[in-house]
Amino acid sequence: MLNAGIVFFAIGVILAGIATISFKIRAIANKRAWGGITVPFGIFGAIALVIGVILIVITRN
């Protein structure tokens, strides 16, 4: 269970990082910053982070 939590957490961090990079690149390129893959990756990243943290906390107690 701990391994699954760590995997979800890592996936969440990666997706949130991609969303952040996409946001910054689109803002610098003078495009709509919230367009493209920013919102979907941000949402899925946040969900994966929350699931990962929950699984890690449940396992650690």
How far apart (Å, rounded) are the C-alpha atoms in residues 28 and 40?
A: 20
Looking at the structure of the chain, the number of domains it has is 1
pTM for this entry: 0.87
pLDDT digits (tens, 9 = 90+) for 4-46: 999 999 999 999 999 999 999 999 999 988 888 999 999 999 9
Give 7-36 as a DSSP string: HHHHHHHHHHHHHHHHHHHHHHTTS-TTTT
Q: Is 41 helix (H, G, I), strand (E, B) or coil?
A: helix
Domain that holds residue 36: 2-60
